[in-house]
Amino acid sequence: MRDSFKNLLITVSAVASMMVISCTREACFDETNALLKASLYLDSLQTITAPDSLTLYGLGMDTSKIYNKSAFIKQALIPLNSSEAGCRFIVRINGVSDTLSLWYTSFPHLVSQVCGYTFYHTLDSVAVTNNIIDTIKVTTNSVTTLNGENIRIYY
Protein backbone atom coordinates (compact mmCIF):
# COMPACT_ATOMS: atom_id res chain seq x y z
CA MET A 1 0.00 0.00 0.00
CA ARG A 2 2.83 2.30 0.95
CA ASP A 3 4.72 1.44 -2.25
CA SER A 4 1.60 2.00 -4.32
CA PHE A 5 1.16 5.44 -2.83
CA LYS A 6 4.80 6.23 -3.49
CA ASN A 7 4.47 5.17 -7.13
CA LEU A 8 1.30 7.16 -7.59
CA LEU A 9 3.00 10.24 -6.17
CA ILE A 10 5.97 9.85 -8.48
CA THR A 11 3.69 9.33 -11.47
CA VAL A 12 1.55 12.37 -10.79
CA SER A 13 4.53 14.66 -10.20
CA ALA A 14 6.31 13.42 -13.31
CA VAL A 15 3.19 13.92 -15.48
CA ALA A 16 2.87 17.45 -14.17
CA SER A 17 6.51 18.28 -14.87
CA MET A 18 6.28 16.77 -18.34
CA MET A 19 3.24 18.87 -19.19
CA VAL A 20 5.03 22.02 -18.04
CA ILE A 21 8.11 21.16 -20.11
CA SER A 22 6.05 20.35 -23.20
CA CYS A 23 4.28 23.72 -23.02
CA THR A 24 7.54 25.68 -23.25
CA ARG A 25 8.00 26.94 -26.81
CA GLU A 26 11.58 27.35 -27.98
CA ALA A 27 12.93 30.19 -30.08
CA CYS A 28 14.48 29.78 -33.51
CA PHE A 29 18.24 30.27 -33.47
CA ASP A 30 19.07 28.47 -36.73
CA GLU A 31 19.93 30.17 -40.00
CA THR A 32 16.78 30.34 -42.10
CA ASN A 33 18.01 32.18 -45.22
CA ALA A 34 19.69 30.23 -47.98
CA LEU A 35 21.86 32.89 -49.62
CA LEU A 36 24.02 32.55 -52.70
CA LYS A 37 27.62 33.23 -51.66
CA ALA A 38 29.57 35.10 -54.32
CA SER A 39 33.28 35.62 -53.73
CA LEU A 40 34.82 38.66 -55.40
CA TYR A 41 38.11 37.95 -57.14
CA LEU A 42 40.43 40.49 -58.71
CA ASP A 43 41.04 39.03 -62.16
CA SER A 44 44.56 40.37 -62.53
CA LEU A 45 45.74 38.80 -59.26
CA GLN A 46 43.36 35.80 -59.18
CA THR A 47 42.92 36.43 -55.44
CA ILE A 48 39.86 37.21 -53.40
CA THR A 49 39.85 41.00 -53.07
CA ALA A 50 37.23 43.41 -51.75
CA PRO A 51 36.45 46.18 -54.25
CA ASP A 52 36.53 49.80 -53.06
CA SER A 53 32.76 50.00 -53.54
CA LEU A 54 30.04 47.42 -54.11
CA THR A 55 26.40 48.13 -54.86
CA LEU A 56 24.02 45.21 -55.43
CA TYR A 57 20.26 45.07 -55.91
CA GLY A 58 17.63 43.08 -57.74
CA LEU A 59 16.60 44.28 -61.20
CA GLY A 60 13.65 46.63 -60.68
CA MET A 61 14.37 46.81 -56.94
CA ASP A 62 16.67 49.82 -57.00
CA THR A 63 14.93 51.35 -54.00
CA SER A 64 15.93 48.36 -51.90
CA LYS A 65 19.62 47.71 -52.14
CA ILE A 66 21.33 44.65 -50.69
CA TYR A 67 24.69 46.48 -50.69
CA ASN A 68 24.94 50.23 -51.21
CA LYS A 69 28.45 51.48 -51.95
CA SER A 70 29.74 49.04 -49.37
CA ALA A 71 33.47 48.57 -48.79
CA PHE A 72 35.43 45.59 -47.49
CA ILE A 73 33.00 43.05 -49.02
CA LYS A 74 34.96 39.97 -50.10
CA GLN A 75 31.95 37.68 -50.31
CA ALA A 76 28.52 39.01 -51.30
CA LEU A 77 25.47 37.22 -49.90
CA ILE A 78 22.74 37.24 -52.53
CA PRO A 79 19.10 36.25 -51.82
CA LEU A 80 17.34 34.39 -54.63
CA ASN A 81 13.67 34.68 -55.55
CA SER A 82 12.00 31.42 -54.44
CA SER A 83 8.84 32.23 -56.41
CA GLU A 84 10.67 32.36 -59.74
CA ALA A 85 13.02 30.10 -61.65
CA GLY A 86 15.50 32.93 -62.12
CA CYS A 87 16.35 36.47 -61.16
CA ARG A 88 18.62 39.32 -62.20
CA PHE A 89 20.80 41.64 -60.17
CA ILE A 90 22.58 44.89 -60.86
CA VAL A 91 26.14 44.60 -59.62
CA ARG A 92 28.02 47.90 -59.44
CA ILE A 93 31.71 47.47 -58.66
CA ASN A 94 33.78 50.64 -58.23
CA GLY A 95 31.04 52.63 -59.97
CA VAL A 96 30.73 50.39 -63.07
CA SER A 97 27.53 48.36 -63.46
CA ASP A 98 26.91 44.86 -64.77
CA THR A 99 23.84 42.65 -64.83
CA LEU A 100 24.09 39.23 -63.21
CA SER A 101 21.49 36.65 -64.29
CA LEU A 102 20.89 33.44 -62.33
CA TRP A 103 18.65 30.46 -63.19
CA TYR A 104 17.94 27.82 -60.60
CA THR A 105 15.50 25.31 -59.15
CA SER A 106 14.00 26.03 -55.71
CA PHE A 107 12.65 23.52 -53.21
CA PRO A 108 11.49 23.75 -49.59
CA HIS A 109 13.74 22.57 -46.78
CA LEU A 110 12.70 22.07 -43.17
CA VAL A 111 15.08 23.94 -40.87
CA SER A 112 13.45 22.80 -37.62
CA GLN A 113 10.06 22.64 -35.98
CA VAL A 114 10.46 26.04 -34.35
CA CYS A 115 12.02 27.75 -37.38
CA GLY A 116 9.85 26.24 -40.08
CA TYR A 117 10.82 26.03 -43.74
CA THR A 118 13.26 27.82 -45.96
CA PHE A 119 13.95 27.39 -49.67
CA TYR A 120 17.11 25.80 -50.98
CA HIS A 121 18.19 26.25 -54.60
CA THR A 122 20.16 24.34 -57.19
CA LEU A 123 21.94 26.62 -59.63
CA ASP A 124 21.35 25.68 -63.24
CA SER A 125 23.18 28.45 -65.07
CA VAL A 126 24.59 31.95 -64.67
CA ALA A 127 25.30 34.79 -67.09
CA VAL A 128 26.77 38.28 -66.74
CA THR A 129 27.47 41.34 -68.84
CA ASN A 130 31.13 42.27 -69.14
CA ASN A 131 31.55 45.95 -68.28
CA ILE A 132 33.72 45.41 -65.20
CA ILE A 133 33.06 41.73 -64.51
CA ASP A 134 35.27 39.49 -66.58
CA THR A 135 33.89 36.03 -65.83
CA ILE A 136 31.68 34.06 -63.43
CA LYS A 137 32.63 30.62 -62.21
CA VAL A 138 30.21 28.27 -60.41
CA THR A 139 32.03 26.38 -57.64
CA THR A 140 29.07 24.80 -55.79
CA ASN A 141 25.60 24.72 -57.32
CA SER A 142 23.75 23.93 -54.06
CA VAL A 143 22.57 27.11 -52.38
CA THR A 144 21.85 26.27 -48.74
CA THR A 145 22.07 27.82 -45.30
CA LEU A 146 25.53 26.31 -44.86
CA ASN A 147 28.65 28.39 -45.25
CA GLY A 148 30.65 27.98 -48.43
CA GLU A 149 31.14 29.49 -51.82
CA ASN A 150 28.71 29.14 -54.71
CA ILE A 151 30.18 31.40 -57.38
CA ARG A 152 33.29 33.45 -58.04
CA ILE A 153 32.99 36.86 -59.66
CA TYR A 154 36.22 37.89 -61.39
CA TYR A 155 36.42 41.67 -61.97
Partner 1 sequence: MEKTSVYIISTLIFLSSSTALAQDQIPDSVDIPLKFKAAIEISGPTIYLADKNILNIEGYFAADLNEQTAIYIGTGYSDFKYSQYNYDYNNKGVFLKTGLDFNLLKPETAMGKYWAGIGLHYGLSIFNSETPFLKYENYWGITSSSIARATHWGHYLEVSPGFRAEISGNFTIGWSVSMRKLIYSGTGKDLKPIYIPGYGTADKSFSAGISYFLMWNIPYKKIRVAVKQESPEEPEETEIPGNNTDSQSLEDAPGGFR
Q: Is 110 in the site for partner 1 (CB under 8 A)?
A: yes
Tell me the window of 45-53, 59-67, 97-105, 132-140 that interacts with partner 1 (CB under 8 A).
Answer: 59-67
Alpha helices (runs of H) in the chain, residue ranges in sequence order: 2-22
Q: Cβ distance 142 to 51 under 8 Å?
A: no
CB closer to partner 1, 11 vs 131: 11
Q: Which of 44, 52, 94, 117 binds partner 1 (CB under 8 A)?
A: 117
| Cα dist from 124 to 102, 103, 120, 140, whole Å | 8, 5, 13, 11
Q: Cβ distance 76 to 92 under 8 Å?
A: no
Q: Is 118 in the site for partner 1 (CB under 8 A)?
A: yes
Q: Which of 42, 49, 73, 79 binds partner 1 (CB under 8 A)?
A: 79
Q: Is 53 in the site for partner 1 (CB under 8 A)?
A: no
Buried b (16+ CB within 10 A) or exposed e, 117-140: ebbbbebeebebeeebbeebeeee
Q: Is 63 in the site for partner 1 (CB under 8 A)?
A: no
d(CA 82, CA 107): 8
CB closer to partner 1, 42 vs 77: 77
CB closer to partner 1, 3 vs 47: 3
Q: Which of 120, 132, 133, 155 binds partner 1 (CB under 8 A)?
A: 120
Element (H, E) at 120: strand 116-128
d(CA 133, CA 152): 11
Q: Is 135 in the site for partner 1 (CB under 8 A)?
A: no
Binding residues for partner 1, rule: CB under 8 A, are 3-4, 6-8, 10-11, 13-15, 17-19, 21-22, 33, 58, 61, 64, 66, 79-84, 87, 107-110, 112-114, 116-120
